[in-house]
Amino acid sequence: MAGNRAVAYKGPGKVEVIDTDYPTFELQDGPGVNPANVGRQVPHGVILKTVATNICGSDQHMVRGRTTAPSDLVLGHEITGEVVEVGRDVEFVKTGDLVSVPFNISCGRCVNCKKRRTEICLNVNPDRPGSAYGYVDMGGWVGGQAEYVLVPYADWNALVFPDKAQAMEKILDLTMLSDILPTGYHGAVSAKVGTGSTVYVAGAGPVGLAAAASAQLLGAAVVVVGDFNTERLAQARSFGCETIDLSKGEPHEQIEDLLKSPEVDAAIDAVGFEAMGHGGKEAPATVLNSVMSVVSAGGSVGIPGLYVTGDPGGVDEAAQRGALSMDFGTGWAKALTFVTGQTPVMKYHRGLMQAILNDRIHIAKAVNAEVISLDDAPRGYEEFDKGAAKKYVIDAHGSIR
């Protein structure tokens, strides 16, 4: 039996590379695994040799101790890999295929999957609709920041790249298909970005940068990105965005200086619940309130930023259970549309794959992808937590040139 190594959460602020079990076609007991999923048979799955697996801001929330994630949870939901074993019931995915895996696990059989709402599949997480690899309260499917990982419902979930050699040439772009590119794109689509739109993106982390690049792909006239991190703002400017430094004033004031109007057609919250207020203190509703203030009446707000139902490190009792002081009256008065929740990756990933393969978007450059080894993952987490203007891609087997 082959071995396996993986990145595991060891407690607030700490991750380690550990020896762990090689995947099997049966869900085993372990940290975070829902008891109802233990022993679940996965003849419809494949085992991947991981080629690229990325560190995500959502992982960072757990590593900071801002969720109820248990110690030794294997992390990682952004997975691209080569199929090395195929389950008995898999018909179309073959050994040797190079595939992208949506971060949200779905069955392809339930009513929500049939509506293309794969982010709220009803059959993969006994606790609630929706699931993901290596994530707290998501059913206990083992994460992909590992040498090998199990992918269930492979004929449904795995996006096979049509030309393996071509895909490896563009692997740093294609690895973003598992999460941040579809997530950023979903934020832009949810905000109804179109030709000629003016767009405000709150947050210049990888998802915010992906949202900004997606808004450009959708035809936005101008994309304004706001953040406190000057290096991340410089990264946004590197591919044609306007930027505002939130330490220097309110978004609507700076947007008016740029656009001669304090309001935009569409806004995207790419920050989530660990948002910082202008006084340098955490204020979890501040971004939601600011995007409502800057989007024009009748506009839409896409919210790919993560909000949780349980936050042990929340600033107050309400925030610790996900209840925020949101200025909903403004949203109601302006007749705004809000779109929240996980991204239905499968709704977008095939089209975005074609955009990458045909050089319509260069997402790795936009998010400043940097390749690191599996053993370097703890350093990647540490630097990302300090605000590095990078997207860390873990090369688990030395496959990436």
* Contact call for residues 155 and 86 (beta carbons, < 8 A): no
Q: What pLDDT, on a 0 to 100 scale, did the predictor assign at position 251?
A: 93
For 151-202, the pLDDT digits (tens) are 999 999 999 999 999 999 999 999 999 999 999 999 999 999 999 999 999 9
Residue pair 45/150 in contact by the 8 Å Cβ criterion: yes
C-alpha closest to that of 250 among 287, 216, 217: 287
pLDDT in tens, 18-52: 999 999 999 999 998 989 999 999 999 999 999 99
Q: What is the DSSP string of 172-213?
A: HHHGGGGTHHHHHHHHHHHTT--TT-EEEEE--SHHHHHHHH
Give the containing element (helix H, strand E) for 80.
Answer: strand 79-86
pLDDT, one tens digit per residue, over 225-238 is: 999 999 999 999 99
Domains of the chain: 4-179+344-395 (3.90.180.10), 181-339 (3.40.50.720)
pLDDT band at 142 (very low <50, low <70, confident <90, very high): very high
Whole-structure pTM value = 0.95
Cβ–Cβ contacts within 10 Å for residue 284, how many? 26
- Helix, strand, or coil here: 41? strand
